[in-house]
Chain A
Amino acid sequence: MNEVSKPIPVADAETAPYWDGCREGRLLIQQCADCRRRRFPPHRLCPHCHSANADWVEATGRGKVYSWIVVNHPVPKEVYREEVPYVVALIELEEGVRMVSNIVGCDPHDVAADMPVSVFFEPADGGMVLPRFRPATGAA
């Protein structure tokens, strides 16, 4: 690709329902229909019991920051020059799974471990909608 864009998620057979959920403003994660464990990223088989029976359940969208970085140096420069500094975080959802996203809506240096955050959805390159997080208001 010569055209510069942010990386565009390419939905596949396992992840299409997840990305469709984002378009509808719903954060969907898989739950094994047999052993009931939740998992992320989406996959056909449960890594615990290998069952192929899974339900898509809507997460509350609430979680807390497990780890985070502040990106100061943009890579690729032409794509992220206007974005830095930005925060990428590993977020632990209330449902017990971890996912990667951005924390916006606060100073990057105000992000802290275990900070409560909540999801919102934002249109992104390639016609996709990404789940992003901001500091949770009110009780966590």
Chain B
Amino acid sequence: MYGLRDKYAIAGVGETAYTRNSGVPVLDLAVEACLNAARDAGVDVKDVDGIVSYNFGDSAPAIAVATALGIPNVGYAVDFAGGGNAANLITLSAAAAMEAGLAKKVLCFRAMNGRSGFRLGGGREMLARGVTQHTAPFGWITYPQAMAMWARRHIVKYGTSAEEFGSVAVTFRENASLNERAMQRAPITMDDYLASRFIVEPFRMLDICLESDGACAVLMTDAARAKDMAKKPVYIMGGAYGGGPDQGEDLFDAIRWPDHSENYAAYIADDLWKSAGVGPRDVDVAQIYDCFTYSVLMQLEGFGFAKPGEAGAYCASGAIRRDGELPLNTHGGLLSEAYIHGFNHVVEAVRQLRGECGPRQVEGAEIALTTAGAMTCGSAMVLRN
């Protein structure tokens, strides 16, 4: 996303409670989160004129949410068919839509009954069509199974240790213990991590994110309007979406991917940092997509925080803790706060830049990174206050 530095801002954030069973349709969750984001910005939700989301057929369509909110004029409504890779693509697309004059105030949301309803970690349909005919019949069915294949290559190539993966899980849980919204707040030790049972090797239970019901949303507008709204604006400095060659035929398939020891991050880092005009050393706090522990390591390497193969040692050194040089996933991440498919990372980044995070606040945070994606494609943003 070039040429739009600091031109668009996040003016409001909102969410629902994060639970194992919301007891309500996903549309209700989306409406509640969107309403909270608009209220947070001090905006009458009926003045919103754009709405964008992403889903796997497990959510409410953007236009259904606009209808439920009684929004009269919708100039932009899009549902991306996407997974975690799209969590920052929707905000970048909202900026693009506003730049094109399609809308002036855009709600971006992700809503899911990811535990009580459609479970992403669950099975796929038993008739394997398309590229799935070459994967599922061999019992390669769930996302943990897909991504364990990537983690393995990192281990093969670099000798990444269980303790290095574990340091990510332990650190994020420590952060979650300070976040009243987090679904898993009980601290864990490295011994707890190492003793947690294998689900699909090399993944233990504690390498794998939560399954959650919930929704979160942000309200975006242009910088001039944002200045007149209720909260301190958080500006989008830059962003990027993409991945490498041979991404495959769906998010699961990566049969042809060149090197599974690195993911999308290595391919979009240049665009991200050039568009934002800053680099990894300028980041005060980062919310890194953590559907699994390994994805944090690959993104730290891809985005230039550590050399290839060295992110494990970097995490284990304590650098990613709240008092380290690069505090990560201060809300507890997808591993311990909730799995709202990475969009909760955007909400947390905004709150950190506003200084609203109480005991888990990173003092003086001015620049934040949010990332989204774990395999062949993904998105990222650099934000500032």
Contact = CB atoms under 8 A, between A and B. Distances in A.
Contacts of A6: 126, 137, 139
Given A10-B133, A72-B199, A67 B149 contact: yes
Contacts of A85: 201
Contacts of B139: 6, 71, 80, 83, 86, 88, 102
Contact of A8 (B137, B145, B149, B198): B137
Contacts of B136: 7, 9
A72 B204 CA distance: 10
Interface string B117-147: 0000111111111111111111111100100
A5 B153 CA distance: 30
Nearest to B157: A113
A4 B126 contact: yes
Nearest to B131: A41
Contacts of B142: 75
Interface string A1-18: 100111111111001000
B230 interface: no
Contacts of B130: 12
Nearest to B133: A9
Contacts of B126: 1, 4-8
A124 to B, nearest CB: 6
Could you say which of B153, B200, B249 has the most chain A C-beta atoms within 10 Å of its C-beta? B200
Contacts of A67: 149-150, 152-153, 156, 260
Kindly name the residue among B121, B125, B132, B141 whose own CB sees the greatest number of chain A CB atoms within 10 A. Answer: B141
A101 B126 CA distance: 17
A59 interface: no
Contacts of B260: 66-67, 90
A5 B125 CA distance: 10
Given A1-B126, A41-B131, A88-B138, A72 B255 contact: no
B197 interface: yes
B235 to A, nearest CB: 40
Nearest to B202: A69
A7 B149 contact: no
A6 B121 CA distance: 17
Interface in B251-266: 255-256, 260
Nearest to A113: B156
A68 B198 contact: no
B255 A40 contact: yes
Contacts of B199: 72-73
Interface string A65-97: 011111111011001100101101010000000
Nearest to B124: A7
Nearest to B123: A76
B255 A69 contact: no
Nearest to A73: B199
Nearest to A101: B138
Contact of B197 (A66, A72, A99): A72
A70 B260 CA distance: 17
A98 interface: yes
B198 A75 contact: no
B63 interface: no
B141 to A, nearest CB: 6
B149 A102 contact: no
B137 A7 contact: yes
Given A68-B152, A69-B152, A75 B141 contact: yes
Nearest to A47: B246
Contact of A10 (B128, B135, B141, B149): B128
A130 interface: yes
A102 B136 CA distance: 11
B4 interface: no
Nearest to A109: B201
15 contacts: A1-B127, A7-B127, A7-B136, A8-B137, A9-B134, A11-B133, A15-B133, A40-B134, A67-B152, A71-B145, A76-B122, A85-B201, A90-B255, A99-B255, A130-B137
The 6 A-B pairs with the shortest beta carbon distances in the complex, nearest first, are: A7-B136, A9-B133, A70-B201, A69-B148, A7-B128, A73-B199
Interface of A: 1, 4-12, 15, 40-41, 66-73, 75-76, 79-80, 83, 85-86, 88, 90, 98-102, 113, 124, 128, 130, 132
Given A7-B127, A75-B141, A100-B134, 7 more contacts: A1-B125, A5-B126, A8-B127, A9-B128, A9-B133, A69-B149, A69-B201
